[in-house]
Structure 1
Amino acid sequence: MSTTEETTRPWPPLACHWVEEPDGTRWLVPGCVARLHDVDAGSCTCPTLADQLEVAQRERDEVRHAHRSLQSWHHAIVAAVYAHPDGIRIMKNAADRSSGC
């Protein structure tokens, strides 16, 4: 799969849904294997909105945890540099070099 295909496909995958044509014809677009094999299957295995929300909240919490961990490392490194006898000079040199980017 190309990068373009990766960025244009819906995410998360669409759940089973019906598409109605202007003439009233309806087509089921299956989003799960159960409906793919049997259009009338009553046991659609697509995730519910509640399931999707739970997954999204779990992913959000994992990202927040990772961000806090990175912030802790960043603060520890900055504190260690400032604790160095030449810390202020080191930070000034780093700031001067980064301003040219």
Structure 2
Amino acid sequence: MSTRPTPKQPQTLPGLGPKSMAMLEAAGIHDLARLQQLGSVAAYRRVKRCCPSASLNLLWALEGALTGLHWQTVARDHRTSLLLALDDDTQTPGPCAPGSVSPETGTQ
């Protein structure tokens, strides 16, 4: 029996629980490699577009998953730089992954 993640089963990322993982899945972010490619700010913007209720705690957790820092440390020590990057990030986030189901509404 294989335990390798499939496209419908995202990898577990450090510091992210099942709800955060479901939001990432809805945004088309299925693994650490994709999160690293996007970076925490762009990934957060994608998730926010699919799941408007996502809080800034998710941004801190995404940065923590990339840096190995606890999300509370990120919130305390990197809050300003991340918020400035979020404000300056003019890239339009991509839509939710095609065919994905929003964890908030249960619809596509």
Q: Same fold (TM over 0.5)?
A: no
TM-score (norm 1): 0.24
Report which structure shows greater RCO (CA 8 Å, sep ≥6): 2
TM-score (norm 2): 0.23
Higher helix share: 1
